[in-house]
Amino acid sequence: MMTKLLLTTAALVFATFSLKGQAFEQITFPVTIDGKELKNPFAGGLNNPQFSNGDINRDGKNELVIFDRDGAKVLVFVNKGQEGEPEYHYDPELSSIFPEMRNFMLLRDYNNNGIPDIFTYSQIPGVPGIQVYTGVVEDGSLSFEFLELDQPFLNVLAFRDGSGLANINVLSIDIPDIIDVDGDGDLDVVVFSPAGGTVQYYRNRTVEEGREPHEFIFRLEDHCWGKFFEEDFSGEIFLSDDPNSCASWNFEGSAEPRHAGSTIALFDEQGNGLYDALIGDLATDEIAFLRNGGTKTNAFMVDVEINYPPYDVPVDLPSFVAPFIVDVTGDGRNDLIVSPNGAEGFGETKEVAWFYQNVGTGDEYVFELQQKDFLVGDMIDVGSRSHVAVVDVDGDGLLDLVVGTMGLYVSPQERDASLYWYRNVGTAEEPEFQLEDTDLFGMNQFTSSARAFAPVFYDMTGNGAKDVIVGDNRGRLFFGENVNGPGEPIQVNTWEYPWMDIDVGQFARPTVADLNGDGLPDLIVGEQNANNVDNMRCGNVNYFQNIGTPGNPEFASDEFEAPNNPCLAGVLTVPGNQFRGFSAPSFYESDEGLIMLVGGLDGKLKMYRDVNPAPGHVQDAETEFFGEINVGSFSQAVLEDLNGNGLLEVVVANQRGGLEIFSTDLPAKEPVSVEEFYQAAFSPELFPNPAGDFYTLSFPESGFSKAVISVYDLTGKKVERHTQASPIQTFSTKNLDSGIYFISIRDSGGQSINLKLVVQK
């Protein structure tokens, strides 16, 4: 009953993430920031959102659908508020029905059947253009089918070009508009030309020619729609004085053909039946408005406003913005949302959705800014490229979340990176998280030279208290020794950098596990690129064997130097058409063995069990698509039982700077309280001491798990290794000379303690 209550209230379980059998369910927990409870804390964040409307759940009302260019992730939000007072809630089940896409996605209804269709960027390598998915409803559920165009050409929208066909060219960084420009009942295309500067109007003639909507008969109707020209670099717009001629770009030599990179959205501001235009440009942080003074068949821009809207708060959003005309409030009137159109965090990463409500009367548009962080303000979002760890920071026995980040955008050359601490202020069974610290352990002091902080917590010094290791974008590691003891708050007074002189190249993502079974914690570090051995790409997860002693870790810095391994298990997260992989490993010690999860550039997770660190060993993943989880790009995950139900959750970080949580069917280790653990499981008795021919290690039965016993002499040389499988076990000293020895004890959960043994014969 407790588990059911937890899953229906505290965890606020969403519907199944996918209809496939092995998919995990996406869940959420309460999160509070500055006294405000977030509505969608684990929706995963936003960086470059593109907005559309569509009735996805087929209830007769439109949802707000987001395609985030940064990671190519679709998020569907259902409006559970009242008309004019929207309250959007993320729906992962509806989000999962969309196909994989890239660069842009616009929902439209091309066949006028009331079902949303998709217009998106071409998936054909080397062919810029537009492809279409047709919305289909069966048994009340929406799905999308790829539209195979019946034309003697590539499967992209094409126009008649002389006697043949040519693709409607959309550059990968541009966003077109798909809209019925001439009011004839079919959808046209307006898009900036490949060279930039002018807008091309492709008129859809399927209605005029009596063809079916899916046949898409286009003609390039106007090479210079609106007769304006946008100048290179400055984004300055020139208007023509002739409705039948394009504006010249040779104004006193100040204008020239421009670089490409523009977005466009059309709307009828004055309700006069003519489409005006909003334009974003690669060179500016503003939106430009152009008023149409022509006709439906011949657009002619007669006025331009560079800083729109001039009567309210003009858009000022770094960098390269995109406008979207959608109904946000659910009142049937279209509003305006403006967002950055970059990728991989190059642009504003926090206030990424400027929502302007349409407060005009009649058919006229008047926009008033409501908020700059629409939707994203109700999510955990630390900028871009988050990296999560689950650990008890304050020693209260509850698991917290610590999130590293590439950093919040400050300028093209600067990011504001740190570690965020979300403290569990709930219970072990019903966790609730509260943002407690935006600069945990003072990592922000290093942000001028390092970013992309990737934390992991592990007892490296053998005192039972967890220390801190943090990777960065330069491929190096910070080490912070925890100066407090077991069960106390983690405190780091000084940082070592670069720790052990380890440098894996770029974007170090560390984790820790004892892979070779010697009782010492080893380092496993993910990185951006792949490593090569004998001119063969062999993997991009690095294994650094601990060659130190209990409590004194030591690592050889060169991953190619034995006993290190630059290609652990042959794990490679580089997609087939990419050069980078951004591997991100993590480990969980289960009762069935050591589980390794590896995230990477493709946004998915691989799972391995009991990885062998030996050089040259190649191991297949148990699953290449763990839980059918795909967070878009730059995935990284950790396993932990967050709600004490005996099953593991997986917390997944991503490129968009947020987190997502999924329940799994993997059993967790038996939970042990902090008091029980340190007073029982790790309070072993060693007797007799001094020892003669034997010694015994005795653990209380409560909380005991299998332990590895390593014996070292005073020089630090390991002289014996044993496995203790029962609470009481006796060991012979026949191979030990008289003297002093150190015994390192590490259980299967990674907790450790060191004892001194005196042998007298």
Give pLDDT tens digits for 257-306.
445 689 999 999 999 999 999 999 988 899 999 999 999 999 999 999 99
In a domain, 29, yes or no: no
Residue from 315, 372, 384, 403 nearest 346 by CA: 384
Tell me: do 205 and 337 sit in the same domain. yes
- Report the pLDDT value the prediction gives residue 349, as an integer from 0 to 100: 86
Between 455 and 676, the more confident residue is: 455
Tell me: do 135 and 259 sit in the same domain. yes
In a domain, 1, yes or no: no
- Report the pLDDT value the prediction gives residue 433, as an integer from 0 to 100: 98
Residue from 220, 207, 135 nearest 169 by CA: 220
Residue from 674, 726, 720 nearest 699 by CA: 726
CA–CA separation, 471 and 465 (whole Å): 20
In a domain, 103, yes or no: yes
Residues spanned by the domain of 721? 685-759
Boundary (domain end) residue, out of 637, 667, 697: 667
Work out the average pLDDT over 217-231.
Answer: 95
- Report the pLDDT value the prediction gives residue 20, as an integer from 0 to 100: 34
- Report the pLDDT value the prediction gives residue 344, as an integer from 0 to 100: 67
| CATH code, domain carrying 105 | 2.115.10
- Report the pLDDT value the prediction gives residue 536, as an integer from 0 to 100: 84
Judge whether 473 and 406 are in contact, CB under 8 Å: yes
Boundary (domain end) residue, out of 344, 378, 412: 378
In a domain, 17, yes or no: no
Boundary (domain end) residue, out of 378, 413, 431: 378
In a domain, 360, yes or no: yes
Tell me: do 356 and 409 sit in the same domain. no
Tell me: do 730 and 755 sit in the same domain. yes
- Number of folded domains that form the chain: 3
Tell me: do 226 and 299 sit in the same domain. yes
Give the end-to-end CA distance of the chain in Å, rounded to a whole number. 59
Q: Which of 224-233, 468-477, 491-500 has the least mean pLDDT?
A: 224-233
Q: Given pLDDT bands bounded at 50, 70 and 90, which one contains residue 21?
A: very low
Q: For residue range 352-375, what is the model confidence (pLDDT) as tens digits?
A: 999 999 999 999 999 999 999 999
| CATH code, domain carrying 431 | 2.115.10.20
- Neighbouring-strand partners of residue 35: none
In a domain, 202, yes or no: yes
Tell me: do 178 and 92 sit in the same domain. yes
In sequence order, what E strands does 713-759 have?
718-724, 728-732, 739-747, 752-759
Q: Which of 377-391, 530-544, 612-626 has the least mean pLDDT?
A: 530-544
Residue from 651, 33, 40 nearest 376 by CA: 40
Tell me: do 610 and 480 sit in the same domain. yes
| Mean residue pLDDT across the chain | 90
In a domain, 92, yes or no: yes
Work out the average pLDDT over 633-648.
Answer: 96
In a domain, 495, yes or no: yes
- Report the pLDDT value the prediction gives residue 227, as an integer from 0 to 100: 97
- Report the pLDDT value the prediction gives residue 232, as an integer from 0 to 100: 65
| CATH code, domain carrying 722 | 2.60.40.1220
Tell me: do 544 and 432 sit in the same domain. yes
Q: Which residue has the tokens 């929406």?
A: 142
Tell me: do 430 and 491 sit in the same domain. yes
The encoded tokens of residue 75 equal: 């998020």
Tell me: do 585 and 696 sit in the same domain. no
Tell me: do 216 and 249 sit in the same domain. yes
- Neighbouring-strand partners of residue 662: 26, 650
- Greatest mean pLDDT among 14-28, 425-439, 524-538, 705-719 lies in 425-439
- Report the pLDDT value the prediction gives residue 670, as an integer from 0 to 100: 65
Tell me: do 409 and 553 sit in the same domain. yes
